[in-house]
Structure 1
Amino acid sequence: MAALWFGDPRRKFARAFAKAAAQAPAGPLADFYAAGMPTLDAAVGDAELACIDLETDGLTPRRDAILEAGIVPLAQGRLQAGQARRIRFRPAQALSSASVAIHGITDDAAARALNADEALAQLLPLLARRVLVAHFAQIEAEFLDRACRRVFGGPFVAPFVCTMQLQQRWFGGKPGEIVRLGALRVRYGLPHYAAHDGVSDALACGELLLAQIAHKSGREPTLAEMLRR
């Protein structure tokens, strides 16, 4: 999965999307690609996006697993909190006490979750034909790609807007600096939400994106100009 796109992001994304679609076997992943590419020429106020946060049992996609996906739609510049979804993934092994202390998902709760194939079958239609919004989006992109390769045998390619990267590009900061979602929200006067909950973090990320756009000078950028690099 290509992590960096330079030049015209629309053209490069279209090539990556088409290549991934050709590798997807019949089923939920092929259906995701069959829905088509989202438009990248529109501004946020004229587009449909999905804010997403993944809770995982670690930070290494090749070893760790998705435990929860929180999704909040963002359509025509408005967050649709009433349509938020939480999808739990059942891990293949017992959770460590250290990870449980962070995300609060116990072994009992995880045991009631969906198998990865069932969870992805519910998740992918919620992401189809949408630009995805995440904070430190590399995590979401890599975990989703790894999960789809493991379950379906094909890659996951989708356009991501990364609120952490936008902050650095638009308002300055050290290249590669990791700034937590909560810390950035404080800068914009946004309320505090409990961290490490898929839905609340997805909502928090969407609110941050709208605040960043509101504070940016000049015309509102298109989604193509906002894609992570």
Structure 2
Amino acid sequence: MSLFDRFKPRLVKLSPEQARRLAALTPPAPLHSTPLEAQPWAVVDVEATGLHPQKDQLLAIGAVALEGQIIPLGQGFECTLAANWSKPGPSVLIHGLSPSAVAKGTPPAEALLGFLEWLGGRPLLAFHASFDQAMLSRAIKLTLGLQWDAPFIDLAQVAPLLCPELATHNHSLDDWAGQFGLQTGERHNASADALLTAELALMLFSRARRQGLATPLALHEALVRWHRLQHQPRF
């Protein structure tokens, strides 16, 4: 099934040019056995009106490319989505996006098409990826009519998988960044958070290779096994 076949015109209103761009998108690539140091990734972070993916609204996307062991600066993606956000909640104290800044943002269809075009089918990395994945998937479905199912790897799970001896006292992105000596700088800005996440990924991928997890597929399979063990009943 092509991306255009999965586009539901009755759900959204796209211009003919936007529909053409939607049909031309590169489909998400599955995780495979490319060496970690050769795999292109997209490292993403999002900001939203709150922490509930099923009711809150996507406000901003920040992403950087990870090409093997290089983060090519200047080749990332950053966008604030336009929205009528008249009643900001506590989240504004975290991400700093004001209603006026959001009102001047990019129309959501253009923002999301731009992000998917930039992504180019690469697999994604995020910290606490379930939130980013849910927010993006819901916005893409509601705005573009596309059921988007790109693979994500969650570095919030990779870190304790690879460093169990450090997991007790390290939970947040800041915690793990500090553990590896990374400079946090400006935080809770989507692009800055994505860059810090990419730097953490380089540290973790180096450790993964030393532990014999040398490909995205091997790392994913190890995460599945680790997650299953975490949820086994303990007597």
Do they fold alike, i.e. is TM over 0.5? yes
- Which TM-score applies when normalising by structure 2? 0.80
Whether 2:205 is the aligned partner of 1:222: answer no
Does the 8 Å contact 1:81/1:203 carry over to 2? no
Whether 2:199 is the aligned partner of 1:207: answer yes
> Structure 1 residues 157 and 71 mapped into 2: Cα distance closer, same or farther (>3 Å)?
same
Whether 2:43 is the aligned partner of 1:58: answer no
Aligned partner (choices 189, 197, 214) of residue 197 of structure 1: 189
Whether 2:169 is the aligned partner of 1:186: answer no
After TM superposition, give the deviation of residue 119 of structure 1 in Å: 0.8
1:46 alignment partner in structure 2 = 38
After TM superposition, give the deviation of residue 169 of structure 1 in Å: 1.9
> Structure 1 residues 36 and 191 mapped into 2: Cα distance closer, same or farther (>3 Å)?
closer
Whole-Å Cα distance in 1 between the matches of residues 104 and 97 of structure 2? 11
Cα distance per residue 1:74-116 (max 9 Å; x no partner): 1122111221221111123324152221111111111110121
Matches within 5 A, 1:1-229: 22-25=5-8, 26-32=19-25, 34-35=26-27, 37=29, 40-172=32-164, 179-216=171-208, 217-227=210-220, 229=224
- Which TM-score applies when normalising by structure 1? 0.81
> Structure 1 residues 174 and 60 mapped into 2: Cα distance closer, same or farther (>3 Å)?
farther
Number of residue equivalences? 210
Cα distance per residue 1:14-66 (max 9 Å; x no partner): xxxx697752355544433x446256211221121111110111111221111
Whole-Å Cα distance in 2 between the matches of residues 129 and 61 of structure 1? 23
Whole-Å Cα distance in 2 between the matches of residues 143 and 174 of structure 1? 29
Whole-Å Cα distance in 2 between the matches of residues 199 and 58 of structure 1? 18
SS in 2 for 1:73: strand
Does the 8 Å contact 2:80/2:102 carry over to 1? yes
Does the 8 Å contact 1:49/1:75 carry over to 2? yes
One-letter amino acid of the counterpart of residue 218, structure 2: E
Whole-Å Cα distance in 2 between the matches of residues 208 and 172 of structure 1? 16
Pair member with larger Rg: 2
> Structure 1 residues 141 and 36 mapped into 2: Cα distance closer, same or farther (>3 Å)?
closer
Aligned CA-pair RMSD:
2.6
After TM superposition, give the deviation of residue 178 of structure 1 in Å: 8.6
| Displacement over 4 Å in runs of 4+ | 18-22, 25-29
Cα distance per residue 1:98-149 (max 9 Å; x no partner): 2221111111111110121111111111112211110011011111110111
> Structure 1 residues 222 and 173 mapped into 2: Cα distance closer, same or farther (>3 Å)?
same
